Structures are given as C-alpha cells and as structure tokens.
C-alpha cells in the first residue's frame, strides 16, 4: 500500500465525522482538497524541492488521528510551567490539533481583536473567515497542504481589525500529548487589517515519548500598512516529524517578520511562501536550527516580488553536529515590472562534524532590470583562530566552542523585535548548546 | 621563571626555530628583536601552545612545570599571556562575556568563586581606564570593528584583567601611531611589578623607548645570535641587523 492510500481510505470512511466536527468554512474546501491530494499525492524525492526529505516515508506509518474529537486529558497550563518563555504574553494552547478553550487568558484584548479557536471564529464570523481561510495556501499545488486542508478540524486565529495595535505579544503553544503515535493537522490563520499591529509567538512542543507527525498550514494576511511579527519556536522530540507551510500575503507598506527557530526536533520541513503584493512592503524572513544526532531540518523559501519598491531580507543559519542534516533552498522571484526591488538572501552553516551534511541552494529569478538583489551562502567549520584566541585567555576548548556556536547564531536573534523573547531565546540557545535543554520529562507527572 | 632549552619548532613542515636558549627571571623585561622571518612570532606561538606549531626538540620549563605538556588554556591559567600581533575578531561574543568567562576560569583554576556581577563590572571599568578604552567596550564584540590601535589597547586591557606572571608582547607596536603607542606602553608599565616578567617581541627599537628592557636578544634564522643590555637595541636601530648576520 502506498503512503497516500491510507489517508484516502481514512477520508472516505470518516468524511462525515470530520465534517460534523468542523465549521462550514473549514468544510468548504475539503472536497477539492481531497481531489487535489488524490491527484498530487506526496512529493517524492524525485521532486527537486523535496530531494533531501523523504515525505512518503514520514507519512507511511499508521498514526492515530483524533477525528472524533475526544478530549485529551491534559492541563496545558500545568505542563507548560517549566521551560517556555512566558514573557508577558497572552497564552493560548492547541492540544494536538484542538484549540484548548477550557481556560483562556483573563486579560482582555483591544476591542474587536480575536485570538482563539478557528472553528469558533468561523462560526461567529463566517464571512471574514470565509474570505481568508485557505486563500493563501493553495491545496492545488502541494500534496501536503491538500492533505492538511482535507483533514483539518480546528486551529488558531488571530484577527486584528483596522488601526488596532495589540501591545502584548500573543503566544500560541502547540502541544503534542498522546499515549499512542499521533498525527495532527494544524492551521493558523492571521488576519491583519490595514494599519494594525501584533506579534505572535508559536511554540511547538511534544510531551510524550511516542511518535508524532504534524502538518501545519499558517496563513498570514497583512493589509496595507500592517505590522506583524511571527516567531516560531520548535522544541519537540526526535520522534516528531513536522511539515509546515507558511504563506504570507503582504499589501502595500506592510511589514512582516517571520523568524523560525528549531532548538530540538526529529524531522522538520519548513516551507515559506512570502508574496509582496503592494509597493513598499517589507519582509524579513529568518531562521536558525541547532541540530545534532540524526536531526533533520529542510527549509524551502519562496519570496515573490510582484510589484515595485519592495524589500525582502532573508537570513538562515544552521549549526550541525553529529550526523544531522540541513537543507536550505531559497528562491527569490522578481517579477517583470517589479523595479526598485531590494532582495537580500544569506545562508550560513556550521558543520561541526565530518558526518554532518548541509545542502544549500540559492535561486534568484529576476525579470526586472533595476533591482538590488544578492545572495550569499557559506558552509564551514568554526574559526580555528578564534577558538585558539579564547583558549589562550584560559577558556577551556569545550566552553570556547560553545561560546563561538552561540555567537554564530547571534544575528538571527538580532531579528527578534521582542526584548523578553530575545533574552529567553539567548538563554534557551545557550542551554541547547550546553546540552541542558530539558525535555520536560517531569511534566508527565503533572498530567491530570 | 622561564627556562627554554634547545627549542626546535616547525610550522607546516617548515623548520623555524633551530635551538633557542633563553632564561627569564621574575621582575625582568626581555626584548627579542630580529629581522622579518627570524622566528620571533613562532617563539611566542609555541610558548602559548598554538596547535599549528609543532615542537620537534627541546624543553620549556615554566615555574617548575613542563610547559609544553600544558593545554593553551592551562598555560593561560598558570599565568602566561600573549598579546597577539593580530588580535582575532570574534563577532557575536561580547567583551564582557568573554572577559567574565576568562576571569572566572582563572579563578576556578585557583579554587576561587566566580566574581559577583557588580564587582566584575567595576573591575572592567578600572582596568579599561589603564588603556583609555571607553565604556562602550563591554558591549562590543571582541575586536570586531576595532581600529588597529584599539585592538592593541584591548590586548593590554585583557592582560590587565588576567594579571599574568609572564606577558609576551608580540609586535604590540606594529601599526600603532605615536599616541596609541604611548597608551599601550603606559599600560604595560603600570602592570609591571617585581613579581612578573615580560618578553617584548619587536622589530623596531621604538617601543623600547617606552618599555625599558633589562636584556635584549637578537633572533636570526631561529636562533638567538646575540644577547646584551639595552644598549644593543640602540645599536641595532643605528646599524640594522646586517652586521650581526655577517658576524654569525
């Protein structure tokens, strides 16, 4: 049986169950997505974009999906006390793929702002939800997005109306909690109306020692002059596989920052699609992963400059240890007529062992003749001279290596526009390099 | 304090040092002079344990210990300090974190507790004033974007923080204008006591007008070919190195 077949059978058998659990807005694109999935299937390693990540293999095992929406016995507020930066953020949870609505932050959001479950939002504001849901992420082009769209039952929405500024950062924690191997299909929908501002931090965590598989589709709509920060912190387990696809559509003069950091994982594929659709829009897309053992992070970015005068800055870094592998494929498309485009891409990688592998491929496609575009890629080892310099001041070699690794990652953190988060990330990264990052094992005892 | 016997060393398979003998006692300042390529910098690199340099023969005894057996970090913690000819830029590592790590490693080696944060900042303030570095120093990345003069002053600042027993200044005067030279030399002189020793490696006599050596050695083709008092430096300034080469 090929990997697709079990999902096709699953959907055929449980379509009604899925539909009953979800709102009309989520159900609307389902049939089309199913057709797309049957047509596309999973991308194979013969697909240039998926050359280094075996998708069918990741989806082949039999994972449980909570189609019938049983409540998972967990109090995320207890689980979450240990390691995660609380900042002064408003905290929300998705347990596996269900929005946790039993307890929500007490502090009120500015009037008209919605932060919460996708189904609830789609039922309360079907007109708005319908206008945006599944409109940035096209199921017709990618089998994994098609699968997510056909199976998605819930998710998270942040909606900020025109001219409203949300001062406090919002934190969404995706928790994997299960006693059996589990799959979750997650959705995040961010609607930033013109001139609105907000910051969202999404953290992925796995609590249990079973195998987890997630598909995540993140859609961001930034209206004219909107300002939005999206931070994605992945801190899962080696038995977790994640296939995420982020789609941002930016209108004129909007400013969107996307910063994805992987501190711990198993297998991760992150797709980023940024479309600059209005003049003077700015995009900062950056990320970093710290990998060891057999960990794998595959980053694929697509930035489209559709109109003149937009700016995109891209910075991705990987630190690879042991037998880990990293992939970076960065495509920048400057469409015809998109003059005065500024697009800069940087990818820097550190291979700390001979066995670690990094595959990097920049791709610039430019169809305009008055642009500033650059890309740079380096993969190498730590600077021996810097290492010796630190040692010659009495710092032991191991400590010096850690200091240099942290320093290597520093400029990705410069792209964090939330001071509290920046400090916490610094300390988390330091812990990660020192091998002290807790896996929250002790949390299991708190589970209700 | 330091006893070098018949030291031979090579780098990339090329023999650079061919039997160095040198003895330094506490309280002394030794100048090592010599033309380009004579092995001056190799000698300093070998003494601090740079792994690119391989010792093929000879002994170095420092404070009763076999120096060549110690790791670079232990040599530092035992009190050896090199002021690099070309200080390395380390983006992303701030001076304050770098120095805190270094100072606390030195203290740990001596069985002492780490310095409390406020005391540490005070210590940095006090020491950086010796070489007239301003208060932005702590937050800057190590040597990144420093001018030539700032880099050398930063070396002496680190020396002040670590209070070595044996300081080796490798071409500390190169690339310095007269004001920076005065500040750097002034810093070195302030740190000089009867308990520590200094080896000044230099190409020119200029630095020795500020840092007065007790002994001057001339290094040529990996060997010390002449040792004399401070007057030798002046003689070299006047006559160059050629008369010594022929004498050899």
Contacts of A46 (CB under 8 A, 6+ apart): none
CB pair distance less than 8 Å for A407 and B92: yes
Is A383 within 8 Å of B88 when comparing Cβ atoms?
yes
* Cβ-Cβ contacts under 8 Å for A139 (sequence gap 6 or more): A29, A32, A33, A36, A37, A145, A146, A148, A149, A150
Average pLDDT for runs of 10 along chain A of length 448 = 89 96 96 97 93 95 88 74 60 91 82 96 97 95 96 97 95 91 97 98 89 97 98 94 98 98 96 98 97 96 98 96 96 97 96 94 96 95 94 96 91 86 84 70 33
The answer to whether A175 and A93 are in contact (CB under 8 A) is yes
pLDDT in tens, A326-365: 999 999 999 999 999 999 999 999 998 999 999 999 999 9
Does the CB of B158 have a partner CB in chain A at under 8 Å? yes
First to last CA, chain B: 29
CATH of residue B155:
3.40.50.300
Nearest to A186 by CA among A285, A66, A291, A82: A66
pTM of the model: 0.85
| Residue whose C-alpha is closest to residue B25's, from B68, B69, B74, B61 | B61
Q: Does B111 touch chain A (CB under 8 A)?
A: no
pLDDT-derived band at B233 (thresholds 50, 70, 90) equals confident
Neighbouring C-alpha atoms within 13 Å toward the C-beta of A170: 30
Contacts of A392 in chain B (CB under 8 A): 48-50, 72-73, 75-76, 82, 84
| ipTM for the whole complex | 0.96
Which of B53, B77, B79, B101 best tests the A interface by mutation, with the highest count of A CBs <10 A?
Answer: B101
Q: Enumerate residues 6+ apart whose C-beta is below 8 A from A149.
A: A29, A30, A33, A36, A134, A137, A139, A217
B76 touches chain A (CB under 8 A): yes
Q: Tens of pLDDT along B198-209?
A: 999 998 888 898
d(CA A244, CA A220): 14
The number of domains in chain A is 1
Q: Tokens for B43?
A: 């000698």
Question: Does B88 contact A at CB distance below 8 Å?
Answer: yes
The rounded distance, in Å, linking the Cα atoms of A317 and A377 is: 10
Tokens of A159: 């909606």
**Residue A448, CA distances (Å) to A70, A73, A78, A209 in order:** 15, 6, 9, 17
Q: Name the phi and psi angles at B154, rounded to 5.
A: -65, -35
Who among A386, A392, A403 is closest to B101 (CB)? A403
Number of domains within chain B: 1
Please give the residue range of the domain that contains residue A325.
3-446
């Amino acid at each position: 049986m090929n990997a697709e077949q079990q999902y096709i059978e699953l959907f055929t058998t449980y379509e009604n169950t899925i539909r009953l659990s979800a709102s009309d807005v989520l159900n609307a694109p389902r049939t089309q997505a199913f057709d797309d999935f049957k047509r596309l299937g999973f991308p194979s390693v013969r697909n240039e974009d998926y050359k280094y990540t075996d998708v069918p293999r990741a989806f082949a095992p039999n994972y449980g999906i909570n189609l019938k929406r049983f409540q998972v016995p967990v109090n995320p507020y207890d689980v979450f006390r240990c390691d995660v930066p609380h900042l002064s953020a408003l905290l929300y949870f998705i347990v596996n793929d269900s929005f946790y609505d039993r307890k929500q932050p007490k502090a009120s959001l500015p009037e008209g702002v919605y932060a919460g479950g996708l189904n609830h939002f789609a039922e309360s504001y079907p007109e708005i939800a319908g206008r945006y849901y599944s409109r940035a992420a096209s199921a017709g082009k990618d089998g994994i997005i098609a699968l997510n769209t056909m199976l998605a039952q819930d998710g998270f929405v942040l909606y900020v109306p025109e001219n409203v500024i949300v001062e406090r950062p919002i934190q969404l924690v995706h928790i994997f909690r299960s006693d059996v191997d589990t799959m979750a299909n997650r959705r995040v929908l961010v609607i930033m109306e013109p001139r609105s501002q907000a910051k969202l931090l999404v953290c992925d965590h796995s609590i249990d020692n079973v195998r987890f598989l997630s598909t995540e589709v993140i859609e961001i709509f930034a209206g004219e002059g909107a300002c939005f920060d999206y931070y994605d912190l992945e801190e899962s387990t080696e038995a977790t596989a994640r296939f995420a696809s982020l789609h941002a559509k930016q209108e004129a003069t909007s400013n969107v920052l996307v910063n994805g950091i992987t501190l711990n994982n198993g297998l991760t594929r992150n797709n980023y699609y940024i479309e600059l659709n209005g003049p003077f829009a700015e995009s900062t897309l950056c990320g970093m992963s710290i990998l060891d053992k057999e960990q794998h992070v595959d980053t694929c970015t697509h930035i489209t400059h559709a109109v003149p005068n937009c700016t995109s800055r891209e910075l991705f870094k990987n630190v690879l240890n042991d037998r880990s592998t990293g992939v970076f494929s960065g495509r920048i498309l400057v469409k015809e007529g998109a003059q005065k485009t500024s697009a800069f891409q940087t990818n820097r990688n550190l291979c700390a062992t001979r066995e670690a592998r990094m595959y990097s491929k920049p791709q610039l496609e430019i169809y305009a003749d008055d642009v500033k575009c650059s890309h740079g890629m380096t993969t190498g080892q730590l600077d021996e001279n810097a290492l010796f310099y630190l040692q010659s001041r009495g710092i032991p070699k191991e400590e010096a290596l850690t200091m240099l690794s942290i320093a290597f990652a520093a400029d990705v953190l410069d792209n964090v526009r939330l001071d509290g988060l920046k400090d916490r990330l610094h300390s988390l990264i330091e812990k990660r390099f020192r091998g002290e990052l807790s896996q929250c094992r002790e949390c299991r005892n708190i589970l209700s | 304090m330091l006893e070098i016997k018949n030291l031979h060393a090579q780098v990339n398979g090329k023999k650079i040092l061919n039997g160095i003998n040198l003895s330094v006692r506490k309280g002394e300042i030794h100048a090592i002079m010599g033309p380009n390529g004579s092995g001056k910098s190799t000698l300093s690199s070998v003494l601090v344990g740079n792994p690119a340099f391989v010792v093929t023969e000879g002994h170095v005894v420092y404070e009763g210990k076999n120096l060549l057996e110690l790791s670079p970090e232990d040599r530092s913690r035992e009190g050896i300090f090199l002021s690099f000819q070309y200080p390395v830029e380390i983006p992303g590592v701030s001076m304050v974190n770098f120095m805190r790590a270094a100072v606390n490693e030195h203290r740990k080696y001596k069985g002492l507790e780490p310095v409390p944060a406020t005391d540490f900042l005070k210590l940095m303030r006090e020491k950086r004033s010796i070489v007239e570095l301003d208060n932005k120093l702590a937050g800057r990345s190590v040597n990144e974007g420093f001018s030539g003069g700032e880099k050398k002053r930063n070396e002496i600042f680190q020396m002040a923080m670590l209070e070595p027993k044996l300081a080796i200044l490798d071409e500390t005067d190169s690339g310095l204008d007269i004001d920076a030279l005065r500040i750097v030399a002034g810093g070195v002189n302030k740190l000089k006591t009867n308990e520590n020793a200094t080896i000044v490696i230099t190409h020119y006599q200029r630095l020795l007008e500020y840092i007065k050596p007790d002994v001057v050695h001339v290094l040529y083709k990996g060997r010390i070919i002449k040792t004399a008092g401070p007057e030798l430096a002046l003689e070299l300034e006047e006559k160059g190195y050629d008369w010594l080469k022929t004498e050899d």
